[in-house]
Structure 1
Amino acid sequence: MDSFEYKVNEDSVGTRLDVFISNELENKSRSYVQGIIEGGAAFVNGKMRKSNYKLKVDETITLSIPEATELDVVAEDIPLDIIYEDSDVIVINKPQDMVVHPAPGNYSGTLVNALLYHCKDLSGINGVLRPGIVHRIDKDTSGALVVAKNDNAHNSLAEQLKDHSMTRSYVALVEGIIKQEVGLVDEPIGRHPKDRIKMAVVESGKKAITHYKVIERFESHTLVECNLETGRTHQIRVHMAKIGHPLVGDLIYGFKKQHFNLKGQVLHAKMLGFIHPSTKKYMEFVSPLPNYFEKIIIKLRNELK
């Protein structure tokens, strides 16, 4: 572990802690610095501080950088449902119950493990754990997801995500009856102030906008289409719970009493559209509802008869 100590001079007064450290560690990104600060690597006058802490004159910053660990993500022969593939991108129909990329406690059986077996080249922008991964969907959410095969494609797709020009449409089954035909939820989303594994609507959160419209109503549930204007973590799940209609099967944001013997929330990424990185033509891909989702809809329709 490498240790450093810095003294804050008058020129750095008011500077954010993460910005100061990023400037000192020229070969480290700001996101990396924020990560180690959150992990307790930085102290100001002996006290642990957050990334946005504003520095004062003559304060002493002590920094301990953990040693890098090499992670060998193994290619695994896991079948992929490929909607489209060329030399730049691959569009996958991800099944429910599959994690997108490796994380602590989950280093095998992920989409990345399967992609490494299938593809010789993937974009390296997001590092060894997330090669080619431009965006993600939750483990228990199924549907369309695009992966970049090279850095040019990755940068293009990431920019489309950033400027909200990528089209993403989801189908969800929610609790209760939504009376209006269409609606919009414009509520900022950030980390839950008390439960750090959850997201929540919080004033300090990032702007998040979800458009929804009713597809079909059942006895005590509603089938809706949700279109994302932004892409925050758990956005649809948090927003629908906020308006009193949490997703069926969502044990984190929804009801504890569940039906239909589910593995998780009933949410499917139905459609994905983007400008192709090389041809510059708009492309759109549709992922059919998985069997478990179709069976639930048939069951709910039969209950109305």
Structure 2
Amino acid sequence: MPESAREIEIKITDNEEGLKVREIMSGKLKLSSREITRCKQFEDGVMIKKAGDAQYKLIWLKETVSAGDILKVKIYEDTDNSGDVIPSDDPIDIVYEDEDLILLNKPGDMVVHPSYAHHLDSLSNALAGYYLRTGQNHVVRTIGRLDRETSGLLIFAKNRHAAAILSNQKGNMSKRKEYLAIVSGVLENEQGTIDAPIGQEEGVRMIRKVMESGKEAITHYKLVRQFEDYALVRLCLDTGRTHQIRVHMSYIGHPLLGDSLYGKEIKNSHGMKRAALHAAHLEFMQPITGKELSFEAELPEDMKSLVDF
């Protein structure tokens, strides 16, 4: 028996009158055929309250609905992921949380997922600990990604259904995400677009570079403030290649301060111990309600100290 369920109530509109229950579940809730079938495996998985009725009653998937009806669907899932992510007591910075997702402000120089070298100190470990302490029974599901050195906004879905819908938004979401970076040197242009393919050299696992055989990569940047030998810039991406901002800014001669991979020629990183990159702004739609959400995350102290004086 599944350990957790997300209960969703839908009020049927005039435009939806006459549709079958299955059509509402697949069209409005974006449930797959497998998920719809699974809902019906349980006696209260799909129920309806007709206009004027006081209680819900069972309904078949082939039955039609009327305007004003309230359809209640329980989306079940297994949540036993013991051994996958070990909970830790590390704190997390919660920007937003609801029944379907949690948005965190990731610290810089922290990995998102557990690995051989970071078995207990990843952001996922910290989130698993938060779930445990607050009595929430969720699998840790990341939407999108951030490099270890990058700080800022990152979404985790709380259930399989929300994860699927948010993952389908990722392409558009990346274009509604903005980064702040501190780059070396004096920018000649206050704004620009870098359109240069990025690839991986054979036999080199970590480092990416601009190369003709690479995948399309497009980065837009705009100067926020110029300092003597570094600048604060705001960036957005049309594509989401690994290390894209770091590679592109280095390619045009302005690597990020503190970037040990792509900024080795920087003479003075002004105390930055990581690549100075922060996911500062994110817009997306709540996966169940469809409500537009927009968030900002302030610069972390290591970057803020260089631009806030």
Q: What is the TM-score of this pair, normalised by structure 1?
A: 0.69
- One-letter amino acid of the counterpart of residue 228, structure 2: E
SS of 1:133 mapped into structure 2: strand
Tell me the equivalent position of 2:213.
204
What is the rounded CA distance, in whole Å, between the counterparts of 1:115 and 1:108 in structure 2?
11
Aligned counterpart for 2:159 among listed residues 119, 142, 150: 150
Tell me the equivalent position of 2:67.
none
- One-letter amino acid of the counterpart of residue 267, structure 1: L
Structural mapping, 1:1-305, within 5 Å: 72-119=84-131, 120-123=136-139, 131-163=140-172, 167-193=176-202, 195-256=204-265, 257-298=267-308
**Shift in Å at residue 255 of structure 1?**
2.6
**Shift in Å at residue 196 of structure 1?**
2.1
CA displacement 1:24-43 (0-9 Å, x = unmatched): xxxxxxxxxxxxxxxxxxxx
Taking only the aligned residue pairs, the percentage that are identical comes to 43
- One-letter amino acid of the counterpart of residue 204, structure 2: D
The 8 Å contact of residues 176 and 283 in structure 2, kept in 1 or not, is answered as yes
The 8 Å contact of residues 273 and 283 in structure 1, kept in 2 or not, is answered as yes
What is the rounded CA distance, in whole Å, between the counterparts of 2:172 and 2:279 in structure 1?
20
- One-letter amino acid of the counterpart of residue 234, structure 2: E
- One-letter amino acid of the counterpart of residue 217, structure 2: A
Relative to 1, partners in 2 of residues 1:166 and 1:218: Cα closer, same or farther, differing over 3 Å? Answer: closer
Q: Greater CA deviation, 208-217 or 194-203? A: 194-203
What is the rounded CA distance, in whole Å, between the counterparts of 2:262 and 2:153 in structure 1?
23
The 8 Å contact of residues 165 and 274 in structure 1, kept in 2 or not, is answered as no
**Shift in Å at residue 274 of structure 1?**
0.5
What is the rounded CA distance, in whole Å, between the counterparts of 1:181 and 1:162 in structure 2?
27
Relative to 1, partners in 2 of residues 1:183 and 1:99: Cα closer, same or farther, differing over 3 Å? Answer: same
What is the rounded CA distance, in whole Å, between the counterparts of 2:236 and 2:216 in structure 1?
15
The 8 Å contact of residues 166 and 273 in structure 1, kept in 2 or not, is answered as no
CA displacement 1:244-263 (0-9 Å, x = unmatched): 11101101001354432222
- One-letter amino acid of the counterpart of residue 126, structure 2: A
Q: Greater CA deviation, 103-112 or 165-174? A: 165-174
Tell me the equivalent position of 1:127.
none
CA displacement 1:148-171 (0-9 Å, x = unmatched): 111111111211113456521011
- One-letter amino acid of the counterpart of residue 105, structure 1: A
Q: Greater CA deviation, 104-113 or 259-268? A: 259-268
Structure 1 portions without partners, runs of 5+: 1-69, 124-130
* CA RMSD between the two structures: 1.9
The higher radius of gyration belongs to: 2
What is the rounded CA distance, in whole Å, between the counterparts of 1:258 and 1:151 in structure 2?
46
What is the rounded CA distance, in whole Å, between the counterparts of 1:165 and 1:173 in structure 2?
20
CA displacement 1:220-255 (0-9 Å, x = unmatched): 111100112221111110111111111011010013
**Shift in Å at residue 193 of structure 1?**
3.5
**Shift in Å at residue 203 of structure 1?**
2.5
- One-letter amino acid of the counterpart of residue 93, structure 2: D
The 8 Å contact of residues 173 and 282 in structure 2, kept in 1 or not, is answered as no
Q: Greater CA deviation, 75-84 or 155-164? A: 155-164
